[in-house]
Chains A and B, each alone.
Chain A
Amino acid sequence: MIRGALTLLLLLLPSLLLPTRLAAQEQLLVAALSQTAVEVTTGFTGATLTVFGSTDQLIGPGADEVLIITRGPTRPLVVRRKVRAAGLLWVNGPSARFGYVPGYYALASTRPAWQILPEEARQRNGIGLDALPLESTGARSPAFRAALLELETASGLWSEDSTPVEIHGSRLFFTHLELPATVPTGDYRVEVLLVRSRRIAARQELTFRVDRVGTADRIATIAELQPVVYGLTCVLLAAFAGWLGSVLFRRG
């Protein structure tokens, strides 16, 4: 069995090595993620991922620049502005609805994006918080978009240049992605861009998934798929806890 597998491996080895060697010669950019799955358990307090890689030339000031953009799954959001009603109470007033808001957005780069890319290319590729394509319906004021940026940045879900892309020996680049405890679950895309003489020379896309696992996942799944069963369970569990308390109380 093992010998069979070994022979197979030996036969396959040249063909396995060949494409990667060829690809390495052609590729200007190679990048990878430290992990491709983030597990949200009941003890989840956030996670840190590392994106690393190298290019075929030197990286650093005056040479290659690297941009790393991470986007989480999108969801619809409503931004509301509080207004004073009857000159007394603050109530939610006008609102703007944003259809596809990334639940996570992080931009990291060797130098700030606006310094290494022409404005037009930056806007077209959605690089930078001010270049995010956010379509909204409802209230028209640009203050709603600005408020959304501020709120998401404050919650740690959106960031720009908070952790730079670091360079080791002009060859290796890496950066850390900080995922706070509130990250939405779903598929994440990490786009690694190589900028050579103010042009995007190569790009590589990596993906990872944030998933609830274990008890947290089971609870959320049951609550979503079988809400009535979940509600009944909540009622019975709470009643049981109360009954348990009364038993303990009688003895004490």
Chain B
Amino acid sequence: MQVYLPIAEMSVDALLLVGIGFGVGWLSGLFGVGGGFLLTPLLILIGIPSPVAVASGANQTLGASVSGLIAQWRRGNVDPKMGLVLLVGGFAGSAAGVQLFGLLRRIGQVDLAVALFYVVVLGTVGALMVMESVRAILRRRQAMRRRLHEHLWAHGLPFKMRFRKSRLYISVIPPLLVGFLIGVLSAVMGVGGGFMLVPAMIYFLGMPTSVVIGTSLFQVVFVAANVTLLQAAQLGTVDIVLTMLLLAGGVAGAQFGAAMGTRLRGEETRALLGLMVLAVAASLLWELVRTPERLFTSGPAL
């Protein structure tokens, strides 16, 4: 069934979009991440223009993360104070990111920038995840104990603040910085950034894992909302029909994924997710390196 996307100004198979939403939702339910990093490249692959794919991807991530946030909030797994500090950085970052995106669009390098961001960020995060989980699997075999609390260099900075729920007394600079960077990436890549935020919170800020998922969802929901709003207001690239079709599939897919996720072990799940992230990065890198079929492209003049 073909459906006309009013902002992308093209006609796409609605079932294909619902299917993509379902697949990405299933994976995100399985791994506990928003799945934006898979969604935006897939949308670009089926011919949605990069700016619309990025903006609508952020909009879809918002919807997909809301249900997760509600569940985590009910269980008390959200540190609102840490979330707000991250959010201040996140808002500044996403505002800067949308400006950067507008500039890239004017000089005609959006496709390159989006692809490069994906390759670098996904490549790094994927490699770290695989390495970390392999190490964890090995450690489990050796039955070694980890230290409960680690002191990192980031803990020595000024402007300290107490985060009760996270049981931390640290400077506000690292969380602000983390929030800002995730905000920029969110605007340029159309992702929520959960797959980067979670490791950053654990290894960089030293937060306990119990509040990490909930707090990262808190940040993702509001940053994605901000990106959606800014992209819609400044660039006019959010396609609500596209978003709703993706969400229709995504909401259903997430349920199946989450049900299946409970049967998988943590380290194996993370290793799998890491491999998948690496695969997406590798395929995008290949697109940049290989000789393109068409040397010329055309686009609207801005």
By a beta-carbon cutoff of 8 Å, the part of chain A in contact with chain B is: 40-46, 75-82, 88-92, 95, 97-98, 143-144, 147-148, 150-152, 181-182, 184, 212, 215-217, 219-220, 223-224, 227-228, 230-235, 237-239, 241-246, 248-249, 252
Contact = CB atoms under 8 A, between A and B. Distances in A.
B273 interface: no
Contacts of A237: 63, 240, 243-244
A152 B4 CA distance: 20
Q: Tell me what chain B mostly uses at the interface: helix, strand, loop, or mixed.
A: helix
A78 B292 CA distance: 18
A246 B108 CA distance: 40
B161 interface: no
Given A238-B62, A242-B62, A92 B251 contact: no
13 contacts: A42-B6, A82-B297, A92-B297, A97-B301, A151-B296, A219-B6, A231-B229, A235-B59, A238-B66, A242-B70, A245-B247, A248-B255, A249-B254
A78 B296 contact: no
Contacts of B258: 249
A246 B67 contact: yes
B112 A244 contact: no
A90 B243 CA distance: 30
B298 A234 contact: no
Interface stretch (B124-132, B139-147, B172-180, B230-238): B230-238
Contacts of B288: 89-90
B300 interface: yes
Nearest to B64: A242
B236 to A, nearest CB: 6
B260 interface: no
A181 to B, nearest CB: 4
Contacts of A227: 232-234, 236
Contact of B251 (A98, A181, A244): A244
Contact of A77 (B11, B66, B71, B299): B299
A242 B67 contact: yes
Given A82-B295, A88-B289, A239-B225, A248 B251 contact: yes
- Chain B: interface residue count, which band? 35 or more
A82 B296 contact: yes
A80 B108 contact: yes
Contact of B2 (A45, A78, A232): A45
A148 B296 CA distance: 8
Contacts of A82: 292, 295-297
A101 to B, nearest CB: 9
Nearest to B253: A245
B7 interface: yes
A247 to B, nearest CB: 8
Contacts of A232: 229
Nearest to B10: A182
A148 B298 contact: yes
Contacts of A182: 9-11
Given A77-B301, A238-B59, A244-B251, A216 B4 contact: yes
Contacts of A43: 2-4
Interface string B261-302: 000000000000000000000000000111110111111110
Given A151-B298, A238-B62, A239-B62, A92 B255 contact: no
A45 B3 CA distance: 8
A89 B289 contact: yes
Contacts of B254: 245, 249
A50 B116 CA distance: 47
Residue of A46, A80, A234, A248 with most partner-chain B CB within 10 A:
A234
B210 interface: no
B240 A219 contact: yes
A181 B4 contact: yes
Contact of A238 (B9, B228, B234): B228
B229 A76 contact: no
A242 B298 CA distance: 36
Contacts of A223: 6-7, 232, 236, 238
A230 B59 contact: no
Nearest to A83: B295
Interface string B213-247: 00000000100010011111110101011011001
B109 interface: yes
Contacts of A91: 109, 112
Residue of B2, B6, B229, B243 with most partner-chain A CB within 10 A:
B6
A252 B251 CA distance: 12
Given A43-B3, A243-B70, A235 B296 contact: no
A144 B295 CA distance: 10
A212 B10 CA distance: 12
B4 A233 contact: no
A77 B300 CA distance: 5
